[in-house]
Chain A
Amino acid sequence: MALLELKNVSKHFGAIHALNDVSLSLEPGQVVGLMGDNGAGKSTLVKIVAGNFRPTHGTMQMEGQDLSMHRPIEARRHGIEIVHQDLALCDNLSAAANVFLGREIRKGVGPFKILDYAAMYRRAGQIFAELRSETRPRDLVRQMSGGQRQAVAIARTRIADAKIVLMDEPTAAISVRQVAEVLNLIRQLRDRGIAIVFISHRMPDVFSIADRLVVLRRGRKVADKAVAASSPEEVTGLITGAIEHVL
């Protein structure tokens, strides 16, 4: 059974059809590379899965159950996590505080609960060690490199025990060495049975990490196939419209 199943999903903003009749299924332990030009509907699709938008038409099912979400927090409750392109980090807080933002560990009795700094530092440290990142839990995010920031944003999805992780251009603004780190990390998530949607413009990254390719053009899905059966040339053709459509 598919983890997440979108059936004939459309999203209209007035007269603008941002997404038209898109069906998509995500399997556990599979990396789906989501590609398309600017305005093709990638971010609209992601925002629907993330609970920011409700689809105008169509249905979503999570593990066979109908899924109707009004707010991003509901998506998180269902185990859907997003790593935003800007990473959504607070520069003025420590790495651990960012990892646990909105899900702080607390201790105490009844309504008298205080933040459990020690537990959060410890758990964040464990996750960074798992990620083989040099990030230290107590350091302020302001002082961190691009790779360390990525590790903080990705560590958040580990706290949540996510089933689906949506990654918006995770390799767009970091160095070559850090790209390799991030791709390794995605492989680790995949090996734990997490479904990953990897949105990227970078063809080599998609071809090295993704199992399946989905290409959007002008709000429609024009390709959904195994990476092994495709080629960068074909994908370029699909994105630009030189190739109409393959399924």
Chain B
Amino acid sequence: MEIQFDDGIKRARFPLLSWLTSRQAFWVLVAVGLACIFLSFATNSFATSNNIFNVARNFTFVAIIALGMTIVIITGGIDLSVGSVLCLCSMILAVVMHAGYSIEVGIAAALGTALLIGAINGVLIAYLDIPPFVVTLGMLSIARSLAMVASNNTVVFQFGPDHDKLLFLGGGALLFGIANPVIYMLALTLLTGFLLHFTRFGRYVFAIGGNEHAAIVTGVPVRRTKVAVYMISALSAGIAGVIETGWLGAVTTNLGSGMELQVIAAAVIGGANLAGGIGTAFGALIGSALIEVIRNSLGLLGISAFWQGTFVGSFIIIAVAFDRIRNFRSPT
């Protein structure tokens, strides 16, 4: 009783602080900040504008997909197909543009493909009740295979008449020297945050993850919402694919392979709960940033890149363990 009373006082006196410290994304942000400060002193190459530019750009692709993945995870689902969908969309874009069509047609075809794949995933999951893990595992294989079919397993690096437009889209810097992908990422983060917190759709996403049965009996259109969620996830992979194509200037059929695990890791480190019901757009962003900062710092510190997996994996476990420990303290 006394402890609760004290807690109440603390909360009343520092509402903002108490809210912040209850957020996993906040602690990950602190970790990212500390890592950056440490690296600025430990190396003389980290805090250069060039390196910061690279770090910021490198994690955008994971972050953009992590936004979609976070929405899926909040509903209690998972999407393993995102890496392959990214590859397929990049390949569709590349093949269409290579055939002489404009960039608009290419992007429309790529994003249309993404939406179609998301819709197939969603319908199988929501209407046929096949577990998301199984459906998207199947789609992981199908989408990559289709990318190979579409390109005959070749590398595409010529994008027809709008070649330069595409490269600027992904590799340019439109505003104040900030890489374009970073701008897209920030815009999409704001959009996702808005979607989750200010729209009825977002409310339904949380409700489905919290208690699907309750969502059904209160008249939430659970199935339609789930289909939309997987379409958004695939669309985020498609958008990342288009941007990454522009940045790399070439598409191979192993693009984005294994990326789904990085994306899920980013979402989970950022506070998304795989059991459903919890997650934020900002968390997805910060989780992705942490992974990239780890990757970058290992290189700068001269540690073998082979250690990367160990660090990222440890962070996943630490992040979830952190959450567990917090729950022990406030039992209900």
Contacts and interface: CB of A to CB of B under 8 A. Distances in A.
Interface stretch (B40-48, B91-99, B172-180, B214-222): B214-222
B205 to A, nearest CB: 11
Contacts of B278: 92
Contact of A90 (B197, B198, B210, B219): B210
B214 A82 contact: no
Contacts of A87: 214
Contacts of A101: 203, 207, 214-215, 218, 220
Given A73-B219, A93-B207, A88 B198 contact: no
Q: Does more than half of chain B's interface fall in helix, strand or loop, or is it mixed?
A: helix
Contacts of A114: 198-199
Given A73-B219, A76-B219, A115 B207 contact: no
Nearest to B198: A114
A110 B34 CA distance: 46
A192 interface: no
Given A92-B277, A143-B332, A102 B218 contact: yes
A102 B332 CA distance: 26
Contacts of B214: 87-90, 98, 101
Contacts of B332: 142-143
A106 B200 CA distance: 8
A90 B75 CA distance: 12
Interface in A85-142: 86-93, 97-98, 101-104, 106, 113-115, 142
B220 A102 contact: yes
B203 A104 contact: yes
Contacts of A106: 200
A52 to B, nearest CB: 9
Contacts of A82: 217
B7 to A, nearest CB: 12
Contact of B206 (A84, A90, A113): A90
A115 B204 CA distance: 12
B206 A92 contact: yes
Interface string A142-169: 1100000000000010000000000000
A72 interface: yes
Contacts of B203: 93, 97, 101, 104, 115
Nearest to B275: A92
B217 A90 contact: no
B213 interface: yes
Interface string B182-213: 00000000000000011110110011011101
B79 to A, nearest CB: 20
A41 B137 CA distance: 42
Contacts of A103: 218-219
Nearest to B209: A92
Given A101-B207, A104-B203, A115 B198 contact: yes
A73 B207 CA distance: 17
Contacts of B198: 114-115
Contact of A72 (B197, B206, B219): B219
Nearest to A116: B198
Contacts of A93: 203, 206-207, 210
Contacts of A113: 199-200
A92 B210 contact: yes
B220 to A, nearest CB: 5
B200 A90 contact: no
B11 to A, nearest CB: 12
Contacts of B200: 104, 106, 113, 115
B211 A89 contact: yes
A91 B217 contact: no
B219 A102 contact: yes
B215 A90 contact: yes
Contacts of B207: 90, 93, 97, 101
Contacts of A98: 214
A134 B215 CA distance: 25
Contacts of B219: 72-73, 76, 102-103
Interface string B212-251: 0111011110000000000000000000000000000000
B324 to A, nearest CB: 15
Nearest to A90: B210
A103 B90 CA distance: 40
B117 to A, nearest CB: 26
Contact of A84 (B199, B209, B217): B217
A133 to B, nearest CB: 18
Interface of B: 197-200, 202-203, 206-207, 209-211, 213-215, 217-220, 277-278, 332
Given A102-B220, A143-B332, 18 more contacts: A72-B219, A90-B206, A92-B206, A92-B278, A93-B203, A98-B214, A101-B203, A101-B220, A102-B218, A102-B219, A103-B219, A113-B200, A115-B197, A115-B199, A115-B200, A115-B202, A115-B203, A142-B332
16 contacts: A84-B217, A90-B206, A91-B211, A91-B277, A92-B210, A93-B210, A97-B203, A97-B207, A101-B207, A102-B215, A103-B219, A104-B203, A113-B199, A115-B197, A115-B200, A143-B332
